[in-house]
């Protein structure tokens, strides 16, 4: 009777060990795929900025140098992101059907200093004429909460937002 119990225990232990080993192998095969998917999603995002010539550097783009809008032989179109003052290369160039100076939103993956373009479209700035502003709340420079309703005047309201300002 004692030998039978030991045999059943060994068979059960072997089955558990085998199941554990299969799970471990499955996990180690799937883990790299999961990490690769997360890295791809982490690098995939959107950027907004101005199309400039690749012959232009970030300082020239920041100071709106006319050199940034010139067509230079061998130069490509790049994206100047004025929120962090970086010029990104854009690939593939055949997806860029716009011109230097155009304000755009680019969606894609960042690889080093190059954005692999998934889509690029002109950036719409502001509301269309006659379009009503969406409701919002924001704190002013004194910490007071303001909303569209608190800012409305008798003759309407003009709101001006600065995307990036270096005063």
- pLDDT tens sequence across 54-71: 999 999 999 999 989 888
pLDDT in tens, 70-99: 888 889 999 999 888 999 999 999 888 778
- Residues in a beta bridge with 115: 90, 110
3-state helix, strand, coil split of the chain in percent (to 5) is 35, 25, 40
- At the topology level, CATH places domain 44-122 in OB fold (Dihydrolipoamide Acetyltransferase, E2P) (2.40.50)
State the pTM of this model: 0.55
Tell me, what's the pLDDT at 60? Answer: 93
Distance of CA 13 to the CA centre of its chain: 50
Q: How confident is the model over 125-136, as pLDDT tens digits?
A: 677 777 888 888
User: How far apart, in whole angstroms, are the C-alpha atoms of residue 21 and residue 25?
Assistant: 6
Rounded to 5°, the CA angle 133-134-140 comes to 85
Bridge partners, residue 81, by sequence: 86
Highest mean pLDDT among 14-18, 75-79, 93-97, 139-143: 75-79
Q: What percent of the chain has pLDDT over 90?
A: 33
């Amino acid at each position: 009777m004692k030998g039978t119990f030991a045999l059943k225990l060994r068979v059960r232990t072997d089955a558990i060990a085998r199941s554990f080993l299969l799970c471990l192998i499955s996990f180690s095969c799937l883990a790299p795929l999961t990490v690769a998917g997360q890295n791809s999603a982490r690098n995939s995002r959107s950027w907004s900025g101005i199309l400039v010539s690749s012959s232009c550097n970030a300082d020239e783009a920041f100071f709106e140098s006319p050199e940034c809008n010139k067509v230079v032989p061998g130069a490509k179109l790049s994206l100047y992101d004025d929120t962090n003052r970086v010029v990104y290369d854009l690939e593939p160039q055949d997806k860029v059907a716009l011109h230097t100076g155009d304000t755009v939103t680019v969606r894609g993956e960042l690889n080093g200093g190059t954005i692999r373009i998934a889509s690029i479209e002109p950036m719409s700035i502001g509301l269309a004429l006659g379009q009503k502003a969406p409701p919002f709340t924001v704190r002013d420079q004194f910490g007071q909460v303001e909303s569209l309703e608190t800012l409305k005047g008798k003759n309407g309201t003009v709101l001006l937002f600065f995307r990036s300002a270096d005063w």
